[in-house]
Amino acid sequence: MNCRLASFVIVAVFVSMVFAPVLSGDNAAADGPEVTVDVTATVVAVPEIDVSKIDIVTNTGDANYTVEVKDGRKLLKFSVSGEPGDVITVAFRTHGYAVREYVLLDLDDGMMEFMEVLEITIPDADKELQLIVFMHEAKGPIRGTLWWDGNRAGRGITVEAYDPVKDVLYTTKTDNNGDYLFAECPVGASYIVSVVHPVREAESREISDLTEHGAVIDFTLMPKRGTVFLFGLDLTHSLMVIGGLTGLFLLIFVILYRIHIDRNPSSSKVYSGTKKKYQK
């Protein structure tokens, strides 16, 4: 019994010696205080755009910002927060414009950094930074392929891209390979892309924040519910084909019969009787 008690005491002392400094000392695991970086941004664009309609988005969520006028120019002010050493990605976006370049200035440290993608490293203390954002008008493509029954859909099918913010509808048609293309859609916008077909359908797809690189969306069309197919075609087109073939066969029959009568008048009582009547 004494041996067990002694073993327990030894283990308890060892554990306390190992973990007590970790739990109570300066190295104890705890989240450090967040540091805030205040950024004043000047947006440069030709033609001038309304900066109040620009969205500022970070990898930690949307950033709140205010607009103030200084020396006749509208300035954006926003803040990003995090623990020292954190890297926060910031993106400016607005309808029809894309960022060409970011210039980040730290006037206290004399730092100037040119970036295509704005990344702010959280410093050890609160800081104020200056930012210049160069934007330009930009458009991007939306393209894709339509498929059905494992094959490309073919020519002449209507595809629509709808911009719900501007209430603008773009329309195009597929080529011989079932490919469609919207060559120039304003970037920064979201689009609902859908296919218009009388008997086949596909679920509409949404594109968020179109970039200059564009987007690729393929559709697989399925028969609409209740649609009847004959010979691989919907009922309406099947009946059109059947009616066309029937008319063609009747025309061929009439032509062949007329040729036969011309060569053998006596074989037709109506034709021969009419001919005799005129001969009298």
Q: Could you state, in order of their start, the residue ranges of all structural domains in the chain?
A: 35-137, 139-223, 229-279
Q: Class for domain 35-137, per CATH?
A: mainly beta
Percentages helix, strand, coil for the chain (3-state, rounded to 5) are 25, 45, 30
- Contact present, 229 and 235 (Cβ < 8 Å): yes
- The pLDDT assigned to 19 comes to 42
At 9, which amino acid appears? V
- The pLDDT assigned to 15 comes to 40
Distance from C-alpha of 198 to C-alpha of 176, rounded to nearest angstrom: 18
CA dihedral 44, 45, 51, 57 (to 10 degrees): -80
- Contact present, 122 and 82 (Cβ < 8 Å): yes
Q: Residues 6 or more apart from 151 whose CB is under 8 A from it?
A: none
Structure tokens at 125: 């203390």
Structure tokens at 81: 């927060």
- Contact present, 102 and 114 (Cβ < 8 Å): yes
SS3 call for 105: strand
Q: pLDDT tens for the chain, 280 residues: list them.
A: 455 545 544 545 444 544 444 444 444 444 568 899 999 999 999 888 889 889 999 998 888 899 998 888 889 999 999 999 999 999 999 999 999 999 999 988 999 999 999 999 999 999 999 999 999 999 999 999 999 999 999 999 999 999 999 999 999 999 999 999 999 999 999 999 999 999 899 999 999 989 999 999 999 999 987 665 555 555 555 566 777 878 888 888 888 877 877 777 766 655 555 555 545 4
Q: Residues 6 or more apart from 235 whose CB is under 8 A from it?
A: 227, 228, 229
Instruction: Record the pTM.
Output: 0.64
- The pLDDT assigned to 267 comes to 64
Asked if domains 35-137 and 139-223 share a fold, the reply is: yes
Distance from C-alpha of 88 to C-alpha of 16, rounded to nearest angstrom: 40
- Strands 61-62, 55-58: pairing kind: antiparallel
Structure tokens at 205: 């797809």
Q: Class for domain 139-223, per CATH?
A: mainly beta
Distance from C-alpha of 87 to C-alpha of 35, rounded to nearest angstrom: 12
Distance from C-alpha of 94 to C-alpha of 50, rounded to nearest angstrom: 9
